[in-house]
Structure 1
Amino acid sequence: MKKKHSVLYTVIQFTMILAFILFLRKFVLTPVEVVGISMEPTYHESDRVWQTSLIEPSRFDIATFPSPRDGKRIVKRVVGLPGDTIRMENDQLYINDKPYEEPYLDEEKEALTDGELLTKDFSLQTIEVDAATVVPEGKVFVLGDNRRRADDSRYFGFVDKKDIYGVVYFRYYPLNKIGLQ
């Protein structure tokens, strides 16, 4: 009789551990591979990151969601939240008419040699899709860090918050760049 309880106890323990691991894998430690160059220099092709779906994205967080083009998971920076106005003038980002620094772009701006801006001027009223005066409720405006080569909200419109898989918080590959994001 004691042996039967011991086996049952072991099975219950194993089941609880497995359920906990599956929870962590689904919501806390979801691995994502960066595909493409739209987030350079922050992330490069084949970088590996972990995301969590337990927190809601805030301004300047890097989020993952399905591409409106092909449904594949993509990685972009959340710039505009519901109710925000967004515009870019002379490589300066304005959110609600307040200038914001983008230190993650400094390296790219310094490397420019062609005399052109890193980010062409735009506003929510001039984007190709979903032109609006403010970011609609339940949506976000995203930009890739590689502004000249990124397919982002300027071209495919706003992203539904409900479609966001998670927020990137840790890079685990390449090993020389491992750490919290």
Structure 2
Amino acid sequence: MSKKRNEWFDWIKALLIALGLALVIRMFLFTPIIVDGPSMEPTLHDRDQMIVNMFTYRFWEPERFDIIVFHANSEKDFIKRIIGLPGEHVEMKDDVLYINGEEVAEPFLQDQKEQLASNEVLTNDFTLENLPGEFEVIPDGYVLVLGDNRRNSTDSRIIGVIPMDQVVGKTELTYWPINRLQLVGE
């Protein structure tokens, strides 16, 4: 009888450790998210399921074109692409991105731009000064984000620059649906 009790105790202990590890991983390291809406198409599709790396920005600074999840408000998280970093001036003119006056290519938009008629633009003109907050440069601790579907995205053009303390993490993997399994990024 004692041997059976020890065996049960070992199983319960193993399950509790496994649950504890899963909880720690889920709360502090990685979390799943479901894309809600078309704002990141064609890179990400509505209902894509992804893994968000929640610890990356504890050790490394954000990089241009990282795809991040952030708290847009108390009820909703958004997923967008980092375009501008702290200390930078951002401008979009004639469908060309300028950072501190220098042209920056956005290769992830190339296919969309090729499908436009000659008189159409994917991203309307704006400058950082025209966005909410009216900053001349992006303040420390903030990033400017845009959706890849520039014609249908609630992003920094509407909500302003995003404080890094509202960033949940960086998306790294789409795992569902299985035919969309991919590492995401540039």
Instruction: Give the structure 2 partner of residue 72 of structure 1.
Output: 76
Task: For 1:169 and 1:135, locate their aligned partners in 2 and report how far apart those are by CA, in whole Å.
Answer: 25
Unaligned segments of structure 2, at least 5 residues: none
The TM-score with structure 2 as length reference comes to 0.87
Aligned-residue offset at 1:53: 0.5
User: 1:91-143 deviations in whole A, cap 9, x for unaligned?
Assistant: 1111222221111101111111262211111111112x111011111111100
Name the structure 2 match of 1:49.
50
Shift of 1:78: 0.9
Does the CA contact (< 8 Å) of 2:29 and 2:55 recur in 1? yes
Identity of aligned residues (%): 38
Aligned length: 179
Query: What is the CA-CA distance between 1:65 and the residue it aligns to?
Result: 1.2
**1:7 to partner: Cα distance:** 4.8
Return the offset for 1:160: 1.1
Secondary structure of the 1:165 match is strand
5 Å matches for 1:115-134?
Answer: 115-127=119-131, 129-134=132-137
The equivalent of 1:88 in structure 2 is 92
> Could you tell me which residue of structure 2 aligns to residue 34 of structure 1?
35
**CA distance in 2 between partners of 1:39 and 1:89 (Å):** 21
Distance, in Å, in 2 between the alignment partners of 1:118 and 1:31 is: 30
